Structure 1
């Protein structure tokens, strides 16, 4: 039983070491190359506004069609 626990701790320690190393490498790369092609805040704002506008337009069209549905049937 002790052997299994020791192996488990060894695996956990190696996993933590790999994760720590990877995070450190990522931070070093970010320091060397600050613009790595991440999505900017402005881009996110523009996309949210575009999607919101499209949903509002579609909702307005749906409301108008449902309101005047009887009148549109004869066209």
Structure 2
């Protein structure tokens, strides 16, 4: 039981220390080069478009599979 409590205290201390360091760094350098919301929107749209195209191709192949065997 003591070992678990000691490990928990050490883990909390490490996390707290890391959290404080991160906050100091964020205060010191507010623009850390994070991805902008525009970039995220563009990526989501691109992936969605690719999935729609792939799904359409799969549906067409499944529907006309018998007709495409001779090609």
Instruction: Report the structure number with the largest CA radius of gyration.
Output: 1
Q: Aligned residues, how many? A: 71
Task: Give unpaired runs (5+ residues) of structure 2.
Answer: none
RMSD value, Cα = 2.3
* Corresponding position of 1:26: 22
Q: SS at the partner of 2:70?
A: coil
Alignment of 1:33-52 (within 5 A): 33-52=29-48
Structure scoring higher RCO (CA < 8 A, sep ≥ 6) equals 2
Residue-by-residue CA offset, 1:22-48 (whole Å, 9 max, x unaligned): 211211110111121222222222111
Cα pair distance change 1:11/1:74, threshold 3 Å: closer
TM-score w.r.t. the length of structure 1 is 0.69
Task: Give unpaired runs (5+ residues) of structure 1.
Answer: none
